Amino acid sequence: MPKPKVHIVKIGGGILEDTVRLEALLQDFASLKGLKILVHGGGRDASLLEAQLGIPTTMIDGRRVTSSESLRVVTMMYAGWTNKSIVSLLQSFGVNALGLSGADGNVIAARKRTPSPVDYGYVGDIHQVDASGITGIMEAGFTPVFCAITHDKKGQLLNTNADTIAAAIAAALTEQYDVRLTYCFEKQGVLLDLNDPHSLLTELNRQKFEELVDQGVIHQGMLPKLNNCFTALKLGVGHIEIGSESMLQKPEQPRTTIIH
């Protein structure tokens, strides 16, 4: 008997800062049939708020270094303004969305990353996803909307890469569901040249990815996303794609499909 389908969509990049594009994406997401989950970042807005507050933003290999002050900012932005803005928009489109962090319902637990070889501060690496808890939320009629905050089960909130959260949720649900994982951002997919939309890679496997990394072709900001994609693929996620928001409702829209 075939497994029920669930579509996990992660949004980030410039889409979150563009009201028109965000609303269009959320309308398309609302039109998706069946079970679905939304995961979002919000790093650019968090960096803007940090600048306004005089808190330095530090990035290493596309990942944010999170000080105690930065953790407060990203929690306010991710779990607060960004998450609830998305939830309220989805409600207006007829989706009974439920905004969540990993701490809510104890659905995503993480460990604070060790400070060696790089001290990322209050950044969490996921070690447990409660698939049954997420399933229960969906079966109760809610559409989960996850922000990029987890916890360590000891009272400490942690900043966790949203791409990683999407991949971890996808992998955790593979036992019960046929999972489709879609990463939406402002580009059409993985580009060999950021300034040339015609340089799109329509398919990317692990070997080609490693070759491009060695050549310095893959943009640093894409590295965490693609590493998460290949991890999720290895753990049984059936279909993974990266591209612009328009691909949600347009099968013909160019995108990058991640393959073995």
Higher pLDDT, 89 or 45: 89
**If we measure between CA atoms, which residue out of 222, 239, 253 comes closest to residue 177?**
239
Q: Nearest 5 degrees, angle CA 63-CA 83-CA 138?
A: 105
Q: What is the CA radius of gyration of the chain?
A: 17
- What are 86-135's pLDDT values in tens digits? 999 999 999 999 999 999 999 999 999 999 999 999 999 999 999 999 99
**How do the domains of the chain map onto residue ranges?**
5-187+233-252
pLDDT category, 237, cuts 50, 70, 90? very high
pLDDT at 195: 87
Q: Is the pLDDT of residue 81 over 80?
A: yes
pLDDT category, 4, cuts 50, 70, 90? very high
Are 212 and 218 in contact, with CB atoms under 8 Å apart? yes
pLDDT at 62: 65
Higher pLDDT, 64 or 146: 146
Q: Is the pLDDT of residue 13 over 80?
A: no
pLDDT at 222: 85
Chosen CATH of 5-187+233-252 out of 3.40.1160.10, 3.40.630.30, 3.30.420.40, 3.40.190.10? 3.40.1160.10
Question: Torsions phi, psi of 144, nearest 5?
Answer: -70, 140
pLDDT at 252: 87
Mean pLDDT of 232-253: 93
- What are 145-173's pLDDT values in tens digits? 999 999 999 999 999 999 999 999 999 99
pTM: 0.94
**If we measure between CA atoms, which residue out of 45, 31, 141, 36 comes closest to residue 85?**
45
Instruction: Please list, in sequence order, all residues whose beta carbon lies within 8 angstroms of the beta carbon of residue 218, skipping any fewer than 6 positions away.
Output: 190, 209, 212, 226
pLDDT at 194: 85
Q: Is the pLDDT of residue 22 over 90?
A: yes
- What are 176-227's pLDDT values in tens digits? 999 999 999 988 999 998 889 899 999 999 999 999 999 989 877 788 889 9
